[in-house]
Amino acid sequence: MEKQIELAKLANRRKEARWPRYCNLADYHCGVFECEFVSPYTKSAGNVDSPIFVLLQDWVSDEYLRAPINADTLRLGYTPDMATNRNLESRLSQHFRRSIRDVYGTNLFPFIKPGGMSSRIPWNDLVRAAEEYALPQVEIVKPLLVIALGLSTFQAMRRVVTGSAGPARLAAAIENPFDHGEIRFWCQAHTGWGVSKRGSDGTERDWVAMAEWFYEALNSDPV
């Protein structure tokens, strides 16, 4: 219960915040997308006791939310038929015998960016969000492993934790996870557009290496 209370405080902070250029969840469709989490993704990925924490970059865009409401997105907090989520579900199942519902998942950037789903978020805003919202969630949940999807997500977290963004290329970032106390942050290619940068074989090897470390650190074998 203590974890839920602290996470709810962060969610309330997000609801009350106003960042220039960005909208809040309550600004769309009479506020139906507003929720009790920092990110709606946690509606489904809400296991606060999971040793696995999945960190995506951002939820959706202004253009997406101005379109007719997707019932699955509203109900689940994510869109199951999007490649990002299909591939993530597959990787979690294959390598960890878990589903999205079995882990804790959220987005580093908790506000709604202008433009389309591929619109970029300025670096300074990613770092600020990492410091104010993402890292506090990690420290509350206290997982063993944080899977940071995408280079920018990983770099922003690394900057906040260590003071340096670290490797400038995806391959090097994947090969160089970092620790925050007993928590390991591990970069992986974004499960949507990022997989093409590593290829299916490279992505498979990346997840295998991460899973092997995880089970050794957990001192158990895959179920």
128-144 pLDDT per residue, tens: 999 999 999 999 999 99
- For 157-188, the pLDDT digits (tens) are 999 999 999 999 999 999 999 999 999 999 99
The C-alpha atoms of residue 4 and residue 107 are separated, in whole angstroms, by 17
pTM: 0.96
Give the residue ranges of the chain where pLDDT is below 50.
223
Strands 104-109 and 178-180: unpaired
Instruction: Specify the pLDDT at position 192.
Output: 87
Q: Assess contact for 173 and 187: CB atoms under 8 A.
A: yes
Q: Assess contact for 41 and 105: CB atoms under 8 A.
A: yes
Going from the N-terminus, what domains does the chain have, and what CATH number goes with each? 2-218 (3.40.470.10)
